[in-house]
Amino acid sequence: MMKNMVLTGAAIACAMILASQGAALAAGNGYAYEDDNIRLTDYKSLTYSAQPAEVTQEEIEAEMQEILYEYAETEQITEGEAQEGDTANIDYEGKLDGEPFDGGTAEGYDLVLGSGSFIPGFEDGVIGMKVGETKDITLTFPEEYHSEDLAGKEVVFTVTLNYLAGEEIVPELTDEWVKENLDADSIEEYEKTLRADLEEEANANFEQEKQGQILQKLVEQSEVVEIDPAVIEENVQAAVDYYTSYAQMWGMEYSDFVKAMGYDEESILAEFTLTAETIQKQSILLSKIAELENIEVTDEDFEGYLEEMADSYGMENVDELKSEIEEAYAEEEDPFETFRQQFLQEQVVQVLMDNAVYAEEEALDETEELEPVTEEEAADTTEEAAAVQSTLEEETEAESVTQKTTEPATEAESVTQSTTEPATEAESVTLSTTEPVKEAKTKTVTESESEETTRQ
């Protein structure tokens, strides 16, 4: 199989939104190249409608407000009793048979009383405590608790209520505050820096959107007669495996996880398949363009490409990146081949970008198609979002109550965010055979995070 056509589950998940409704030939379209398997459109005149966004003063001011809130401090209430709904800052130590057990001790922990994030009875024991008070709370872990060492066992938590959280105190924006906390001497100076950063971000988003539209046009206006079904099957299974493991991170079944995303198993499988087909066609077309344009990857250029990657990941040198690649792709005959193909296709995409034509009429058509959202539609959308949130909360309630003795009940919110992230990322994915380096780096980060969770 051609390595440049092999998708990982993460890549196919991120690319779902880019899956077109099918590669259809435009009426009367002239082809730049034809053979028995490929009809390649005039790739040097592909159109796009994306436009760079203008950064407004309102956006800068809103960003400044977000920064101020990041520096906000919580008022510490040092008298009174803890009540349901309060955020209590506590120290606690759990003991089984007089000995501390793993995961049962923390200091300065903010617990929302009534959230149900700790095992049953813990938060009830904190409610009514006075600030500064220390008490023992005797509890029994649920029989179905995930740790066999603790399931059904009686333990004693020694809890100290340090303070109750009050209002957030947001600092006042002044030149003095900016000078003390930000890398600038005045509000005006920092706003200039902020504007430059936002403009850079807006331009990057524009380039991504433009690239995505160009690649979509390439696939839609060209034709690939035959694609490898074995590669499609392999990539679809990789996507299923990816989402299955993602669901397990939240203690959910795969079917419940995709349901929370608004799919069922059949419909998401269809999305995976369509995306895999689209990306394989895209890969075949880009490879042909590379051949027609005599674009090749030299050893020197490829070394520079890897060095840039290593730098973007904050690695000390390129050898560190190479070691990760060799480990992650150890089963491949050439662990670096996927990366060479990625680099090659990025160069091809740049050729398409340089020759693309802005289509003002397309931009106008898209603007005209955007209809104002009515209050009823907005309400329906809100209700749907609330329904998804409710479903996720129900699925994770037992998990958050029985598995977490050190974390507040934000798991359902995190699941909601995580399940929507692949779709959000998909909007920015424009070139993907694997996004291989990102996958290799993600593997290392995930392993590290897993170890940290175990220590908790």
Alpha helices by DSSP H, 162-264: 175-181, 187-221, 229-249, 254-260
Q: Is 268 helix (H, G, I), strand (E, B) or coil?
A: helix
Question: Quick one: tokens of 173?
Answer: 């924006």
Burial 176-205, CB ≥16 within 10 A → b, else e = eebeeebebeebeebbeebbeebeeeeeee
Question: Quick one: tokens of 418?
Answer: 């995580």
What is the rounded CA–CA span in Å between residue 180 and residue 183? Answer: 8
- What is the sign, positive or negative, of the torsion defined by CA atoms of 140, 141, 143, 148? negative
- What is the sign, positive or negative, of the torsion defined by CA atoms of 132, 136, 140, 145? positive
Contact 95/156 with Cβ under 8 angstroms?
A: yes
What is the rounded CA–CA span in Å between residue 16 and residue 120? Answer: 40
Q: Number of C-alpha atoms within 13 angstroms, CB side, residue 173?
A: 16
Q: In the CATH scheme, what is the code of domain 74-169?
A: 3.10.50.40
Beta bridge partners of 158: 93, 136
What is the rounded CA–CA span in Å between residue 407 and residue 178? Answer: 34
Domain locations in the chain?
A: 3-55+203-455, 74-169
* Environment class of 115 (CB within 10 Å of its CB; exposed 0-12, middle 13-18, buried 19+): middle
Question: Quick one: tokens of 314?
Answer: 């904050």
Backbone angles phi, psi at 109, to 5 degrees: -90, 130
The confidence score (pLDDT) of residue 226 equals 93
Question: End-to-end alpha-carbon separation of the chain, Å?
Answer: 43
Angle among Cα 14, 217, 431 to the nearest 5 degrees reads: 35
What is the rounded CA–CA span in Å between residue 105 and residue 426? Answer: 40
Q: Spell out the residues 6+ positions from residue 65 whose beta carbon is closer than 8 angstroms to its own.
A: none
Domains 3-55+203-455 and 74-169 are alike in CATH topology: no
Question: Quick one: tokens of 205?
Answer: 């988003």
User: What superfamily would CATH give domain 3-55+203-455?
Assistant: Trigger factor, C-terminal domain (1.10.3120.10)
The confidence score (pLDDT) of residue 18 equals 40
Longest dimension (CA), the chain: 82
Beta bridge partners of 110: 89
The confidence score (pLDDT) of residue 371 equals 53
pLDDT in tens, the chain (456 residues): 333 333 444 445 445 434 333 333 333 457 899 999 999 999 999 999 999 999 999 999 999 999 999 999 999 999 999 999 999 999 999 999 999 999 899 999 999 999 999 999 999 999 999 999 999 999 999 999 888 899 999 999 999 999 999 999 999 999 999 999 998 999 999 999 999 999 999 999 999 999 999 999 999 999 999 999 999 999 999 999 999 999 998 888 999 999 999 999 999 999 999 999 999 999 999 999 999 999 999 999 999 999 999 999 999 999 999 999 999 999 999 999 999 999 999 999 999 999 999 998 766 665 555 555 455 554 444 444 444 444 444 444 333 333 333 333 333 333 333 333 333 333 323 333 333 333 333 333 333 333 332 223
